[in-house]
C-alpha cells in the first residue's frame, strides 16, 4: 500500500492504464458526489464488502479513497491481505479532493 498526497495520487491515476478507483464511503457520503468512474464499496458492510473485493481483478492497481483517508487505509490493508498487490490510498480523502466530481 502507498499513502499518496492528492497531487501524486491523481497524477499516478491519470498515467495508469491498469487503474481502478475505489470509493469505500457510505451511501450517505457518496450522495455528496464521487470521483468520476469510481466503484463504490462501503467498508462498513463487513462481509459484503469482502465479497465485493473478492469479485475484483487483483491484477489491477486500486486507487482507494474515503472521506478523510482513514477507512481507505484500512481498505488497502484488507485488500493487501486478500492478495491485491497494488493499492494506493488518497491522503486527506474526498474531503480535501479538488479534482473532478460526478454525481453518484
Residue 9: Cβ within 10 Å count: 24
Using CA atoms, how far residue 47 sits from 42, 50, 54, in Å, is 11, 5, 10
Backbone φ and ψ for 71, nearest 5 degrees, come out as -65, -35
76 is catalytic: no
Catalytic residue among 10, 43, 66, 90: 66
How is 21-85 classified by DSSP, letter by letter? EEE-S-HHHHTT-B-TTPEE--GGGTHHHHHHHHTS-TTSEEEEE-SSSHHHHHHHHHHHHTT--
Known catalytic residues are: 66
Amino acid at each position: 500500500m502507498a499513502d499518496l498526497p492528492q497531487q501524486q495520487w491523481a497524477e499516478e491515476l491519470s498515467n495508469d492504464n491498469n487503474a481502478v478507483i475505489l470509493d469505500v464511503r457510505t451511501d450517505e457520503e457518496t450522495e455528496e458526489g464521487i470521483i468520476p468512474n469510481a466503484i463504490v464499496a462501503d467498508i462498513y458492510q463487513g462481509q459484503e464488502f469482502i465479497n465485493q473485493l473478492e469479485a475484483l481483478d487483483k491484477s489491477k492497481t486500486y486507487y482507494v479513497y474515503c472521506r478523510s483517508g482513514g477507512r481507505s487505509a484500512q481498505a488497502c490493508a484488507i485488500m493487501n491481505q486478500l492478495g491485491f498487490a497494488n493499492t494506493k490510498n488518497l491522503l486527506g480523502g474526498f474531503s480535501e479532493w479538488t479534482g473532478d466530481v460526478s454525481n453518484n
